[in-house]
Structure 1
Amino acid sequence: MIRKCVNKIMKICYRLLAVAIFLLIWEMAPRVGLADPVFLPPFSKVFVEFFRMLISGELLKHIGISLQRSILGFSLGLIISVPLGLLIGWFKGFERFSDPLLQTFRQTSTLALFPVFILLFGIGEISKIAIIFWGVQWAILLNTIAGVKNVDPLLIKSARSMGTTSFEIFVKVIVPASIPSIFMGIRLSATTSILILVAAEMMGANSGLGFLIYDAEVKYQIPKMYAAIISMSMLGLILNYSLVAIEKRVTRWKEEPYRAA
């Protein structure tokens, strides 16, 4: 039991080693003259500012606002993209019809469309939620389509040989087999939703992490700016690992080698 705990601690330390080295370089570079401390303050100063903002509640307020916007836009994309992706992947004629349009929209820069969303929905909350929805839906949609198309044909043939109807095959075979690919799209889109929102908040908001980063940069509060950037990164990491944990629970039926892949 003790050996297992020690091995687990060693694995965690090994995985955090690269992060520790990076933070050490960040701390030492401005102190030894490799970087200008005005533009890149030591990590210790950023760390102190991070906790000051955390204790004062300023950071939590902006994180909460950004999370609310991200969750709304992401949830809307999830609700629409997963069912639509399952249908497009299952009906080949529908896929051939819609694929050129989907690929065209997919290649259009999300942030380049932000002025269009402002013109359509104004500078308020709706435009920010709409741009997040537009940006996150493609990874979910395309991964869902790919998941349906890549289902093992032997599973479908086996189900048909037992007299299973097309609807039952779709519900009991196609949907479960597509879940790993769907979750891959969800993970990509979840972190993307935060990145898109931060960029949108820099251009038209008075709250949120994006606004906090931009406001600190304009006011030349450099440690505060880096603290906000770190907050955004930590938020993305927490979100990603939370989705990984959910995926493992949902897809317990998968074989271990397939999961590792």
Structure 2
Amino acid sequence: MFQLTAKLFKQSILLIILVSLWEIAPRTGLVNPEYLPPFLEVIKAGGEMVLSGELWTHFSTSITRSIYGFLLALVVGIPLGLLIGWYPLARELLNPTFEVYRNTATLALLPVFMLILGIGEASKIAIVFYASTSEILLLTITGVKNVDPLLIKSARSMNLSAFKLFTKVVLPAALPTIFVGIRMAGTGCILVLIAAEMIGAKAGLGYLITFAQNNFQIAKMFAGILTISMLGLLVNFGLTSLEKRFSKWKQQPNLNK
């Protein structure tokens, strides 16, 4: 127990120092407290929003949009990435379009999504989907293409069918890289969504931050920013736990089943 506590303290020491500086600097006049309120005042403002239900309203709106867009990206991105990565013909036909797609800045297309889909939920979900699919596709393709050729050759020498070769060898070997893409997309889609909510939305964490800034409610603004940080950490932790669960078998593909 003591060792675990010491380890957690070591890992958190820099964060503790930064939070302490945040609390001390405004109170001692090193920075203007009107522009950077003390940390405890930010926490107090966040607590008040929690009690009133305001923070939950914006949080639930943002997380719902993120989940819908992200799940759509998984459904489309992983199968398409596997197809492009494994089949040379598919790669030859689709790769040029994919390169144009992933090199087009997501936020540059936000006005297009808003013009076509309006400022409602559809445009927010669409922008999350667009941003997430790029990372998932890229890392899925990379994972399949970088599977050890000797591993594939050995499996083929055992007369494995194409389906078994793919499901028992290629997919397990590519899974760690695919999960890197999923994690990057999971955290990145939140940032894109927040930016979209700042530009055109009536609810969500991005809207909360912009509204608080425009009304000079700086403590509420920082509370919204901290909420986004916690949301990103939560998403990353969840996806990392999921990766560990699904990657237990990645080291030893089973060729006999």
TM more than 0.5: yes
* Counterparts of 1:177 and 1:55, CA distance in 2: 47
Secondary structure of the residue that 1:7 maps to in structure 2?
helix
Question: How far off its partner does 1:172 sit?
Answer: 1.5
What whole-Å deviation, never above 9, does each CA across 1:47-105 have from its counterpart, x for those lacking one? 11111111222111111110000000000011000000001000123213322221221
What whole-Å deviation, never above 9, does each CA across 1:184-226 have from its counterpart, x for those lacking one? 0010001111111111111111111011001100111000000
1:177 aligns with 2:207: no
* Counterparts of 2:99 and 2:28, CA distance in 1: 50
* Counterparts of 2:107 and 2:171, CA distance in 1: 32
Secondary structure of the residue that 1:199 maps to in structure 2?
helix
* Residue of 52, 58, 66 corresponding to 2:48: 52
Which residue of structure 2 lines up, in the alignment, with residue 10 of structure 1?
6
Name the TM-score, length of structure 2 as normaliser: 0.95
- 8 Å CA contact 2:73–2:129 kept in 1: the answer is yes
1:103 aligns with 2:99: yes
* Counterparts of 2:74 and 2:104, CA distance in 1: 20
* Counterparts of 1:22 and 1:228, CA distance in 2: 18
* Counterparts of 2:228 and 2:138, CA distance in 1: 26
CA RMSD of aligned residues (A): 1.1
Name the TM-score, length of structure 1 as normaliser: 0.93
Which residue of structure 2 lines up, in the alignment, with residue 116 of structure 1?
112
- 8 Å CA contact 2:147–2:174 kept in 1: the answer is yes
Question: How far off its partner does 1:240 sit?
Answer: 0.3
Question: Is there any run of 5+ residues in structure 1 with no aligned partner, and where?
Answer: 256-261
Which residue of structure 1 lines up, in the alignment, with residue 132 of structure 2?
136
How many residues end up aligned between the 2 structures? Answer: 251
Which residue of structure 2 lines up, in the alignment, with residue 241 of structure 1?
237
Question: How far off its partner does 1:228 sit?
Answer: 0.4
The one-letter code sitting in structure 1 at the alignment partner of 2:26 is: P
1:204 aligns with 2:190: no
- 8 Å CA contact 2:172–2:249 kept in 1: the answer is no
* Counterparts of 1:58 and 1:35, CA distance in 2: 29
1:25 aligns with 2:31: no
Secondary structure of the residue that 2:35 maps to in structure 1?
coil
The one-letter code sitting in structure 2 at the alignment partner of 1:147 is: G
* Counterparts of 1:59 and 1:130, CA distance in 2: 24
* Mapping for residues 151-190 of structure 1, pairs under 5 Å: 151-190=147-186
Secondary structure of the residue that 1:29 maps to in structure 2?
helix
Secondary structure of the residue that 1:201 maps to in structure 2?
helix
* Counterparts of 2:194 and 2:79, CA distance in 1: 28
* Residue of 44, 68, 72 corresponding to 1:72: 68
Which has the larger displacement, 89-98 or 194-203? 89-98
Secondary structure of the residue that 1:25 maps to in structure 2?
helix
* Counterparts of 1:253 and 1:76, CA distance in 2: 26
Secondary structure of the residue that 1:156 maps to in structure 2?
helix
Which has the larger displacement, 90-99 or 211-220? 90-99
What whole-Å deviation, never above 9, does each CA across 1:130-166 have from its counterpart, x for those lacking one? 1110111111000000000111112211111111111
Question: How far off its partner does 1:169 sit?
Answer: 0.8
1:145 aligns with 2:141: yes
Question: Is there any run of 5+ residues in structure 2 with no aligned partner, and where?
Answer: 252-257
* Counterparts of 2:51 and 2:180, CA distance in 1: 35
